[in-house]
Chain A
Amino acid sequence: MKKFGLYTIEDGFTIKFRNEQISLKKTGDDSYIYRRDHEGETSSKTVFSSRKGKVKLAIYPVRPIQMPRQLAHNIMVNLESPIALPPKSSVTHHLTMPIEIGVFTISKNSNYMIDAFSLSFPKYGLYGKPNMGYICRLHTSIISSEEKAVPYEEAEIIMKFQNKSADWVTVHKIVMDAYMVDLYLSGDTVYLEDSNLLIEDGTIASLFLNNKPPLHGLKEVPMAAESVKKFRLGFLERGGFGVEGKFVMEHGY
């Protein structure tokens, strides 16, 4: 049964994502309590108005930047085994990246993220040095020739690796700025936008996110901007980084 999508707000609504159960309970004429329970314990609770049925509930995958804390907007994907690329070659591999699940209230003119949660245990890592590096959400990815993403926990990356240098290179990790990342859906399977990692010399790799779906027939995840807006409000770090549409991996790959 497909879980991502739009839902009508009604008393007694429940949906389960592994150990996380979302429920709605009517508390007044037009008021509802949103509740998320994790193994019997309430993790999140919000009261909102349905505006006489005009507001809907939406559940969609979001960038992994909300949990456990809005600490970093960078994602570091460590490859389970490194990829060695011969000179002047290119190859496409399937990888995975973490996602979170966002819950939104949707009305005609405005959307609001009321909750976000992750089915995986989030860990962070430092990419670069403490004085000039970036805190990143960490993820270890398998490398495969077919889709391997864990449902509701990971998104599929179909990435083209291009080595334009005259030497062999080895790729160990991929770092991306989640602000730039677009997600696409096919049923409940989540995909990262079309992407390619370009190595022009032996020291620097550039990751390009190409603002289009990696496969035909995929639909862009709506409300992606809401999760970034929410993150920016709660973001504790100062400053940002990255060039629009491209992330230069200056600390190695």
Chain B
Amino acid sequence: MNWIDTALPGFGFTAGQLLFALIVIVVGIIIGRIARMTSGKLLSSVMSENASNLIQRIIYYTTIIVATLAALSYLGIDFTGVMLAGGILGIVIGFATQSVVANLISGIFLQIDKPVSIGDPIGIIDEHLYGVILEINILSTSIRTFDGVNLRIPNEKLFTSTIHNFSKYVARRVVITVGIAYHEEMKKAIDIILKTINENSLVLAEPAPLVYVDELSDSSVNLSIRMWAPSSVWFEVRTEIVQQIKKVLDEAGIEIPFPQRVIWNGKS
């Protein structure tokens, strides 16, 4: 009988079985490392470094745990009690870390789906939050709100919210409504407004701006002004144009009326 078949005193397995179990664990570690490296290469192109590192770690340790359990099982170690305790513990941990796991999974999906990227100006409609994405981490996302406050929002909340991404497309439409008095000449007002818009370099000439009578409202004839601007200067164009329209209409003597109500006296 050689040493391989010798039963280890106090244990229910031989030295050979122990050696084989150790080899299984070592092979598990090697496979884990290979899987971590391979997944790292594959994931680096589709998600951030943080998310990729986390997934790599999960793959690595899961492989080692599986190999270790297989090795211990081969040695005849009974896991029934451990499994039962582990199951109960798992349920407890599961309940306790429910939100953490939800944020983690949402973080991974945010990296894959990419509804937002770092630097994007966005609006989270459900939360009435507007700002610029600073950082997308695995559990939360940092946003600098437009009023200069740093905000950390859990990934689950971000992922399940309606998001307006203001920079996803190269151009955005600017819509302004201006009311002119009923006695004013509509064609003259439209021509003045169109000239003002066309004289602004940042308003796109194509698609062409459009000014039209949109509504005959209670106090004014409402003109709808629609123009396109590069997304990066959308707000600037809007603010400039509103101011310029007020100025040119004033200069042309075209009245922008206040809300008014005509009261008729019953006696003539």
> A residues touching B (Cβ–Cβ < 8 Å)?
68-69, 71-72, 76, 121-127, 130-131, 133-135, 138, 236-238
Residues from chain B with a CB closer than 8 A to the CB of A72 are 230
The reply to whether A130 and B202 form a contact with Cβ atoms under 8 Å apart is: no
With A126-B206, A130-B171 known as contacts, the answer to whether A135 contacts B201 (CB < 8 A) is: no
* Residue of chain B at shortest CB distance from A236: B232
Which among B167, B168, B170 is the interface contact of A135 at CB below 8 angstroms? Answer: B170
Residues from chain B with a CB closer than 8 A to the CB of A68 are 201-202
With A130-B169, A133-B171, A135-B170 known as contacts, the answer to whether A123 contacts B205 (CB < 8 A) is: yes
Minimum CB–CB distance from B164 to chain A (whole Å) comes to: 14
B159 within 8 A of A: no
With A68-B202, A121-B201, A138-B206 known as contacts, the answer to whether A126 contacts B228 (CB < 8 A) is: yes
Q: In the complex, what distance in Å separates the CA atom of A236 from the CA atom of B207?
A: 21
Residues from chain A with a CB closer than 8 A to the CB of B230 are 71-72, 124, 135, 236-237
Can you identify 20 A-B contacts, CB atoms within 8 angstroms? A69-B233, A76-B206, A123-B205, A124-B201, A124-B202, A124-B230, A125-B204, A126-B204, A130-B171, A130-B228, A133-B170, A135-B204, A138-B205, A236-B230, A236-B232, A236-B233, A237-B170, A237-B230, A238-B119, A238-B167
Interface on chain B toward A: helix, strand, loop, or mixed SS? loop
Q: In the complex, what distance in Å separates the CA atom of A125 from the CA atom of B209?
A: 11
CB within 8 Å of A: which of B184-227? 201-202, 204-207
15 new A-B contacts, CB < 8 A, other than A124-B205, A126-B228, are A71-B230, A76-B206, A123-B204, A124-B201, A125-B206, A127-B206, A130-B228, A131-B168, A131-B169, A135-B170, A135-B204, A138-B205, A138-B206, A236-B232, A237-B170
Minimum CB–CB distance from B195 to chain A (whole Å) comes to: 13
Q: In the complex, what distance in Å separates the CA atom of A131 from the CA atom of B201?
A: 22
Which among A69, A126, A131, A138 is the interface contact of B202 at CB below 8 angstroms? Answer: A69
Q: In the complex, what distance in Å separates the CA atom of A240 from the CA atom of B204?
A: 20
B144 within 8 A of A: no
Minimum CB–CB distance from A165 to chain B (whole Å) comes to: 26
* Residue of chain B at shortest CB distance from A134: B170
Minimum CB–CB distance from A184 to chain B (whole Å) comes to: 28
Number of interface residues of B (CB under 8 A): 17
Most buried by A among B119, B170, B171, B172: B170
Most buried by A among B202, B204, B206, B233: B206
* Residue of chain A at shortest CB distance from B167: A238
Minimum CB–CB distance from B197 to chain A (whole Å) comes to: 11
Most buried by B among A76, A123, A131: A123
CB within 8 Å of A: which of B160-190? 167-172
Per-residue interface assignment for chain B, residues 219 to 261, with 1 indicating a CB less than 8 Å from any chain A CB and 0 otherwise: 0000000001010110000000000000000000000000000
Residues from chain A with a CB closer than 8 A to the CB of B207 are 126
Q: In the complex, what distance in Å separates the CA atom of A42 from the CA atom of B192?
A: 29
Minimum CB–CB distance from A133 to chain B (whole Å) comes to: 6
Q: In the complex, what distance in Å separates the CA atom of A131 from the CA atom of B230?
A: 12
Q: In the complex, what distance in Å separates the CA atom of A68 from the CA atom of B203?
A: 12
Q: In the complex, what distance in Å separates the CA atom of A41 from the CA atom of B171?
A: 32
Q: In the complex, what distance in Å separates the CA atom of A238 from the CA atom of B116?
A: 13
Minimum CB–CB distance from A80 to chain B (whole Å) comes to: 15
Q: In the complex, what distance in Å separates the CA atom of A147 from the CA atom of B207?
A: 30
* Residue of chain B at shortest CB distance from A123: B205
With A72-B230, A130-B228 known as contacts, the answer to whether A123 contacts B171 (CB < 8 A) is: no
Q: In the complex, what distance in Å separates the CA atom of A134 from the CA atom of B232?
A: 13
Per-residue interface assignment for chain B, residues 26 to 44, with 1 indicating a CB less than 8 Å from any chain A CB and 0 otherwise: 0000000000000000000
